[in-house]
Structure 1
């Protein structure tokens, strides 16, 4: 049973039982009214609806019954009608100031009591909570956004009218992917997105990317998470073969219908390891390669000065991520945002944030792929590392010699528009032993700067050697820190490169392997 079918059945039972007050939490007023109209026909019971633009009218015939367009006028009209008509339901669509104990809430509660005495019903459509004493006089319902199956029907319904008139390349599988991408938006928002595509005069396979990004424009102004623009041409990550193979295996599952199998879509990865080795770049590359919008959740900005403010901000941010799904959610240096869990210095705020985030990470079923990165593994809450939170925990080590070759070649082609001669490339690979990916980028960048300032003829083998020799990597300035990080990773993580962690690490120390 879909959410909408269940909502309609429950609403019908409430109206049959003559519950005196029903609050419906939804931002889709037209969709709620359509369902109410269907229920009124089935029950053959009169329903009056008030809107600010049309006053009070009968839902079935659209006949005006009260010209007063104010909410107060509608409530007064309802109080007059309930003693005169049995089994009357009145729907208020624009009522306000009923979240707390206000005169408006008290006035409405008095009318609800009058409705209870005459088998009447007051229905309120709202997006906000309702005053507790008023809510306890009745029942509440929530109309969720259309499910994937319902969204599929919406997509098919909107495309059916144009098939045979304009070229439509989408097949059944494309329609299912579009429905999965649009899950979380309202019916009218989905119809607007499809109408925008139809306005081009054709529906092509390439339009699927536009569908993926369409929700970004709907939720662009919602605070809590930041939209990150990525350019795929600049996001070729060298090395990390083990991580790439795992991601290739998981990608089809993100938009697949897995309900019959009883499993959830891929939840994400936690990338830990040596600073500057491509963890943050990997998050951008995943979004670019998968054709998904990338959002960044900065946990450090979540913290507020008032009690409960931090938790509310995190809840709103995660809820926004659920709405814009499918997407990639990037949490950079997650250990900083969740540090302090278990201590009392902040009144327990960090502990509550960890609990709230982990609950969402494990229980949410939205198609949000989380890429979290961490440098200081000692500050990670132990609960974050338990199986079932992230799908996999990868350790990003200093690049091996083949990976350094690949990374140097990528940066050289990007900045110099040409490769490095084989003999020189091999020499640079040897010179860069112990370099992180950021060190390699820095060394090649100096050569690119020289080429820009003095022309490509200024690029010589000696310039490359001098640039690489000028870099002092972290592995030389803080070798103890690198080895400490590696020791942690050998016991707990899968090597992102597919090779044992640490050049001196014996094969047996890489205890975990990921199946690809």
Structure 2
């Protein structure tokens, strides 16, 4: 044995021949060894030998303590300690040899694990902890490195060296031990109870799902402060890939107060299983559908172009609901009539006779099973007065029984008589896990190599926002044109997304032709944008940054607000989408909100991107007016909710001229990062603007007295300065196409007084408001 306590392979330690090291911790090293004296000691031929790095009395006592604790535990998920042995003054432990990998190694090799796999690990480890806690044994160092997974999937808890027996479960362990990142707050004060192990299990579960820690301190000091005082960072779980219930489970297991935490692993597992049932649903909308149906909402309208995916979701929701009590599913379409969940026509008058007409199918709602979901496809094509009346009668029936009506179709149009009882849900395009499976399936169907690792994720992320059919067409086209699925397929997706934007009709796909070099002045705004250029980069996320959410540019007309939005897209090299809210408004009830939702989902589909909203204050000009009929108010609420809840990397650049008409709800933190005031350019900025516009028109700015032109244009906006340069060119061209001079520009300035003079009062109010409410651009 060497000075540092290590043993070389091939050395003999008592009755054991050391074969290879299995792992090294802060206290001991574990080796695989062959038992050379089975007949005498009665232990298996292959064992694990745990050798402390030191042989002082403290190290020996820790080893004896581990054996004393683990000998009281006999559980399939706890490694079995066989006994202690000593050779030449070296005390060591002999235990069951567990072939496999610690979860820390699994995470390093594979990254985040699927939810089902992570829950199964927690189930096994939790069962072992509950068993140990029933015997009043606490581990105090639950972490991935101390959880070994065998090839058959069995999980074993290792290293009870820090464990201790407690006389009664209400007592607390009185020393600070454990790995800091996995320690419960009470462990830092030496008062760890049994559910301190559940804290460590909760941190481990979070790490299995995200491959990060819920308290990402950069050093031990900051890590301890976060554990003691800060809430866990649940941002990685706030995506569509995880059901919202999962974050609540994590938050509860990581409660600072032990009494508010789960008191047993069985409680934790029960809530995880409930979250898993919802997590098994393909997307968060399936969870919403289930909630509405369980709550007996009488009419749910599911807007989607992907009928097949929506029906598959409804079948999964029915299966989840049927776990508690039986419930049927019926589907009606004009071509098949009313069918049961197996696709068989329903007999009697509600069966084959219901082709083309929903009346007989609606009658089945009254006399059908007590608990059922009735799905109607493309009902917006059948809203005759008689059908609407029958739907209203059916709604009264389903309110009193455990039944629900679900309308599935591409149109959100609902007759006014049904609006009070209808709940509109937008069915989203496929999300990342579903698209990754689509990439795998499409490659397998085509017989080409399946993309793996980063390439598969890159392709799936590029397809985000496309419908399932659109995504499959892009993949198949890539295979046909390239013979395989490679990175170039992701580049071709942008063209398809541009088509998606153009088909939507509300958004305009802009291709910027200007950069920040074409924007005069606005140094503060340019600097702010420059610091956030890499905001969408994964390295920034790992550093702890979140993508910026957006800015509101308020100021004088013609001072470069819209130009800045265009230049920003060119600088960040992301698509620029212009949202024309005037195109959103429609005549039918619910249609305007549906258009806005589709436009916002389209923007998320193209992300990362910039969503440009010009003259924001005009978008909801009817807000609060009697003639509005509530449309602007509903659009306003829809847009505010999206601003607050969006997860996609969509940066919103909104401009406004009239601050008095700008709703204050738009500008609070969380929806936008900053409100910038874009005022009239100063003298130096005006000189820079003249320089830009002269150079753009093939004139050398050196030949002009820029300071004099800047002085002559005091009070002019950038747009007015550009107009003066253009007017000067017309003047010079009219006089035998002579060269442009300073006099031409000054004459144009004199002929066109600036807007700041005509609207001096409004400008003064705007400047006063900006002094206390906005940041100077």
Q: Shorter-normalised TM-score: what interval?
A: 0.5 to 0.7
8 A contact 2:362–2:391 mirrored in 1: no
**Distance in 2 of aligned mates of 1:357 and 1:76:** 37
List aligned pairs for 1:33-44, cutoff 5 A: 33-34=311-312
Q: What is the aligned-residue RMSD (CA, Å)? A: 5.8
Taking the aligned partners of 1:103 and 1:342, their CA distance within structure 2 comes to 34
Corresponding residue for residue 219 of structure 1 = 504
The match for 1:188 among 464, 469, 476 is 469
Query: What is the deviation of 1:78?
Result: 11
Q: Do 2:504 and 2:599's aligned partners in 1 also have CA atoms closer than 8 Å?
A: no
Structure 2 distance, partners of 1:198, 1:425, is 58
Deviation at 1:395, TM superposition (A): 0.5
Report which stretch shifted further, 229-238 or 256-265.
256-265
Distance (whole Å) between structure 2 residues aligned to residue 333 and residue 53 of structure 1: 47
Residue 25 of structure 1: which of 292, 297, 302 is its match?
302
State which of 580, 591, 598 in structure 2 corresponds to 1:297: 580
Alignment deviations for residues 313-345 of structure 1 (CA, whole Å, 9 cap, x no partner): 663443133121135444333334546867889
Alpha-carbon offset, residue 493 of structure 1: 0.8
> What per-residue deviation string (whole Å, max 9, x for no partner) do you get for residues 378-408 of structure 1?
3434444433342210000222344333322
- Distance in 2 between the 1:40 and 1:386 partners? 41
Q: Hey, what's the Cα distance between the residues in 1 that align with 2:450 and 2:762? A: 62
Unaligned runs of 5+ in 1: 497-516
Q: Please give the alpha-carbon distance, in whole angstroms, between the structure 2 residues aligned to 1:476 and 1:357.
A: 36
**Contact kept in structure 2, 1:105 and 1:134, CA below 8 Å:** no
Residues 367-386 of structure 1 aligned to structure 2 (within 5 Å)? 367-386=649-668
- The answer on 1:319 being equivalent to 2:597 is yes
CA separation in 2, counterparts of 1:146 and 1:487?
48
Out of 645, 669, 674, the residue aligned to residue 392 of structure 1 is 674
Residues 68 and 74 in structure 1, CA contact (< 8 A), matched pair in contact too = no
Give the Cα–Cα distance (whole angstroms) in 2 for the partners of residues 7 and 356 of structure 1: 16
Deviation at 1:265, TM superposition (A): 5.4
Aligned with 1:437 (options 691, 697, 718): 718
Q: Please list the CA deviations of residues 273-298 of structure 1 after superposition, one character each: whole Å capped at 9, or x if unmatched.
A: 22210122223333454432422334
User: Residues 264-279 of structure 1 correspond to what in structure 2 (within 5 A)?
Assistant: 266-279=548-561
**Structure 1 residues 26, 389: CA separation in 2 closer, same or farther (over 3 Å shift)?**
closer
Instruction: Tell me if structure 2 keeps the 8 A contact 1:322–1:368.
Output: no
Are the counterparts in 2 of residues 25 and 142 from structure 1 also a CA contact under 8 Å? yes
Aligned to 2:196: none
User: Could you say if the C-alpha distance between residues 403 and 164 of structure 1 is closer, same or farther in structure 2, counting changes exceeding 3 Å?
Assistant: farther
| Distance change (3 Å), C-alpha of 1:264 and 1:26 | farther
| Gaps in structure 2 of 5+ consecutive residues | 1-242, 244-278
Counterparts of 1:190 and 1:141, CA distance in 2: 22
Check conservation: 1:333, 1:374, Cα contact below 8 A: yes
The alignment's TM-score, normalised by the length of structure 2, stands at 0.47
The 8 Å contact of residues 440 and 450 in structure 2, kept in 1 or not, is answered as no
- Is 2:515 the partner of 1:238? no
* Residue 54 to residue 302, structure 1, CA distance change in 2 (3 Å): closer
- Which position in structure 1 is the counterpart of 2:692? 410
Residue 216 of structure 1: CA displacement? 0.5
Q: What is the CA–CA distance in structure 2 between the aligned matches of 1:423 and 1:481, rounded to whole Å?
A: 33
Q: Count matched residues.
A: 477
Deviation at 1:251, TM superposition (A): 5.2
Measured at CA, do residues 453 and 157 of structure 1 come closer, stay the same or move farther in structure 2, by a change above 3 Å?
Answer: farther
Relative to structure 1, the CA distance from residue 206 to residue 73 in structure 2 (aligned partners, 3 Å threshold; closer, same or farther) is closer
Equivalent-residue separation in structure 2 for 1:482 and 1:122 (angstroms): 55
Return the match for 1:489 from 770, 773, 776.
770
Distance, in Å, in 2 between the alignment partners of 1:288 and 1:124 is: 43
The alpha-carbon distance between structure 1 residues 464 and 187, as it changes in their structure 2 partners (threshold 3 A), is same
CA distance in 2, matches of 1:430, 1:76: 78
For the pair 1:282 / 2:564, whether they are aligned, the reply is yes
Q: Secondary structure at the match of 1:276?
A: coil
Which is worse superposed, 396-405 or 98-107?
98-107
Superposed, 1:445-460 pairs within 5 Å as 445-449=726-730, 458-460=739-741
Alpha-carbon offset, residue 102 of structure 1: 3.1
Q: CA deviation at 1:489?
A: 1.4
Q: Distance in 2 between matches of 1:36 and 1:340?
A: 38
Task: Write the distance in 2 (CA, Å) between the matches of 1:61 and 1:347.
Answer: 42
In the aligned structure 2, how far is the partner of 1:87 from the partner of 1:12?
A: 14
Q: Residue in 2 aligned with 1:147?
A: 431
CA contact 1:88–1:120 (8 Å) conserved in 2? yes
- Matched with 1:511 is none
Cα pair 2:592 2:631 within 8 Å, conserved: no
Work out which of the two has the higher radius of gyration on C-alpha atoms and give 1 or 2: 2
Distance 2:419 2:624 in 1: 37
Higher relative contact order (CA 8 A, sep 6+): 1
Range 366-375 or range 60-69, more displaced: 60-69
In the alignment, is the contact (CA less than 8 A) between 1:209 and 1:291 conserved in 2?
no
Shift of 1:269: 1.7
- Conservation of the 8 A alpha-carbon contact between 1:325 and 1:367: no
Shift of 1:148: 3.8
Once residues 157 and 445 of structure 1 are traced to their aligned partners in structure 2, the CA distance between those partners, rounded to angstroms, is: 58
Q: Is the 8 A contact 1:451 1:458 kept in 2?
A: yes
1:472 lines up with 2:756 in the alignment:
no
- Structure 2 vs 1, CA of residues 456 and 39 (structure 1 numbering), >3 Å: closer, same or farther? same
Q: How many angstroms apart in 1 are the aligned matches of 2:382 and 2:775?
A: 53
CA drift at 1:94: 5.2
TM-score (norm 1): 0.66
Worse-superposed segment, 428-437 or 54-63: 54-63
Mapped partners of 1:411, 1:390: distance in 2:
32
| Corresponding residue SS for 2:564 | helix
